[in-house]
Structure 1
Amino acid sequence: MGVSTSVPEKGVAVVTVDSPPVNALTVRDWYDLATAVRTAGARSEVRCVVLTAAGRGFNAGVDIKEMQRTAGHEALIGANRGCFEAFAAVYECEVPVVAAVHGFCLGGGIGLVGNADAIVAAEDATFGLPELDRGALGAATHLARLVPQHLMRTLYYTSRTVTAAELHRHGSVWQVVPREQLTQAALELAREIAAKDGRLLRLAKAALNGIDPVDVRRSYRYEQGFTFEANLAGIADRHRDAFLSGSTATEEQR
């Protein structure tokens, strides 16, 4: 369990997250994931990294239980910094990253796939940001890389999810396949990418990042500031506690 790396074939490294029961990651998990992706991409023989997960879904975001059982703001700061590092590791990985997504991809999962170079998804995959329901803000930067601006805002405000098929229609998901074919499909795409010249791939990754219209690191960091504001105002704790208890927090009218 945790984060592991394998090299199933020449030129392709697979980073797998396995944090039962739902891949809601602790602070340490986020940092371990960042290290694994950066390390895999730095290996000279690796030309493509596949990011995948075991279990019921790809990613359920941060471990809210860890945050609520930790006194003070240490876990909140750790989770925010850990997410920042993991998202950046995917974006800055020296070689292309293919995200293989199944089941739920929520919260921090959007940060990972939004920063990936390509996404292959199972038919059962759903994507969304339930941040407002969890007393947080963030990863709109990455959702905006998956869907058009107005759809992003509607999804963000409502905490609704979209399916892999819908994202495929928007062009952000490369391929949608039956669940049992997900690993094979992701490896096939990674294999095609890895067949290219490794030095050129690294140059291409740097070049494409350099022409991005949005600085994803700065944009996400800006969003995180509002998460801290929600915590200082006491809003975040109320929503996180309600989520863990299965109830719904009542929003104060202003």
Structure 2
Amino acid sequence: MHSIYRPKLFPEHFDLSCCMDVEYAVRLIDAIAAFSESAVISLSLYGEPLLHPHFAAIAAQILNHRNLSVLIETSGITEQPADTEQAVDNAPYFDRLAQVCRDAPPRSNGHLPVYWIVDVDAAGSKTYGAVHQLSDEDAERCLKQAVTFADRLAQVFPKAVWVQMTRMNENEAELEPFYRLWEKREAKPLIQKYDHLCGALPDRRPADISPLKRHPCWHLKRDMSICTDGTVPLCKEDYNRSVVLGNAFTMPLETIWQNGQDFYREQIQSCYKGVCEHCDEYYTYNF
């Protein structure tokens, strides 16, 4: 879906060129496990992970490593676009991943094996359609599917499913109804701050919650964003790749990480340049 809080990075019509090659993905996962003692791998950065034809196999590969967990953020819309060039069959992923989780030993990183976030962003279909740029008919259908998806997930993956609202001017009036609705269900509500991508997107924030005094970026300190072709931009905000730290398919992750730490050290000296100058995400963090 083309949500108003995401950049337009992918073709209008989905095809498999949008997906990371599964063999590269497996090698990358092994490299991450060797590099990090406690990584949580998020699938995917700005795309829809359930459209990847090997999604379940990739998630299972992550869980083969005891020090890794996987975060899956999805719209919950499991039907594939009519113009998809090749069938994407992820129907078995519920049972397969659930069984992997049951068999998996406790994570050495202290996390659950799998976390799910379902992007719903509204309490009603009208607001859902406005946020995800859908017609009234499609909005009603897709919202129902996303809600059903989240409820089903919560039964299969207990205490590991959140339903997310990215808080914006467009849905602020439904913030409290959304929270009250999901607070009573197995999948729990999660309120996400709106990210204007350093000014690349319109400022839809209902409130400015940034600290009074700026500090070095949590994401430069803790995260590595990897695109489907292996390119590693400075961070998730730098979706235009104005700074490329390396390529995770061809370079050691240690080298790429050190390249990023040079920018973090600059921020310790209160030097914020490029996309960092107008960033409003430096004080947020994931795991």
Using the size of structure 1 for normalisation, the TM-score is 0.31
What TM-score, normalized to structure 2? Answer: 0.28
Higher normalized contact order (CA 8 Å, seq sep 6+, divided by chain length)? 1
Greater fraction helix: 1
- Find the structure with the greater CA-based Rg: 2
